[in-house]
Structures are given as structure tokens and as C-alpha cells.
Amino acid sequence: METLITILSGVLVTVATYLLLSQNMIRIILGSAILSHAANLLLMAMGGFEKGNVPLLGENASGFTDALPQALILTAIVISFGVTAIFLVLAYRTYEENGTDNLEALRGNNDE
């Protein structure tokens, strides 16, 4: 299971890298969103998928599932949600002001 998820996360990184390297702003934003999903899956896989009980004292279970990666992922999801939102807003405003969503045209010029 861990291997499968790691491979899946690798595929997501590939897709995200392809999107990030394009010139279109929306593609870059989508790429960054997919990138964060890949990281979340990786965190999950690193914690391990052993089947265990809830990590509570006093339950007579043989093994406990590590709850920390899930807490980390929850936080990371919230953060990437916020960052993606602000990135979208910035992209929209940049498109309005500069009249283009092509990053090649947003290099800036020497007169400034």
C-alpha cells in the first residue's frame, strides 16, 4: 500500500512539474495545487498504513495508528487552500492590470 501511494504521489509530482513549467498562470496555479496534494499523500505514506486502534490509553489494542501525520496533513491542507486562494486572486488582478496571463510577457522591461 505504501509503495502504491508513493508511486501515485510521484505521478502527481510529474503532472505538477509539467503544469508549473508552462507559461499560463492558471496552469501554474493548478500545478501548485496538485503539488500540495502530492506532499500530503507522501506525508500519509511516511506515517505508514498499519491497521491499528485509535491512539487512546486504556484500550486493549495490540497496535496504535500514528495520528500525527494526519494532523500534519490537515494543517497542510488548510495552508495550501489559503495559499491557492490568494494565488488565484493575485493572478486575476495581474491579468486585469497587465492584460496578459502569459508569464513570458510578464518578465518586466529595462526602463523601470
Partner 1 sequence: MMNNMLVLPMVIPLLTGIFLIFIRRYIKLQKWISLSAMIVNAGISFYILNRIQSEGILRLDFGGWTPPFGILFVADSFSVLLVLTSSIVTILCLLFAFSSIGKAKENMFFYSFVNFLVAGVNGSFLTGDLFNLYVFFEVMLLASYVLVALGGEKRQLRESIKYVAINILSSWIFLVGIAYLYGTVGTLNMAHLSERIAEVGQTPLLTVISVLFMIVFSLKAGLFLYYWLPGSYGAPPPAVAALFGALLTKVGIYAMFRFFTLIFYHEPSITHTIIGILAGLTMIGGSIGAVAYKDIRQVVTYNVVIAVGFIFVGLAVATPAAIEGSIYYLIHDMIVKALLFLLAGTVILLTGTGRMDKMSGLIRNYPSLGWMFFIVMLSLAGVPPLSGFIGKVLVGQGAIESGHYVLLTLAFLSSIFVLYSLLRVFLNCFWGETIISEEDERPLKKGWVIPCVLLVLATIGLGLGAESIAVYVSDAANTLLNPEIYIDAVLND
Inter-residue contact 51 to 29 (CB < 8 Å)? no
Rounded least distance, CB 51 to partner 1, Å: 18
Could you give phi then psi for residue 110, rounded to 5 degrees? -80, -10
Q: At 62, is the secondary structure helix, strand, or coil? A: coil
Of 61 and 74, which CB lies nearer to partner 1 in the complex structure?
74
Query: Which among 70, 64, 29, 27 is positioned nearest to 47, based on CA atoms?
Result: 70
| Distance from C-alpha of 44 to C-alpha of 68, rounded to nearest angstrom | 10
**Contact code string over 34-73 relative to partner 1, x by CB under 8 A:** -xx--x--xx-xxx--------------------xx--x-
Binding site for partner 1 (CB under 8 A): 20, 25, 28, 32, 35-36, 39, 42-43, 45-47, 68-69, 72, 75-76, 79, 82-83, 86-87, 90-91, 93-94, 97-98, 103, 106, 108, 112
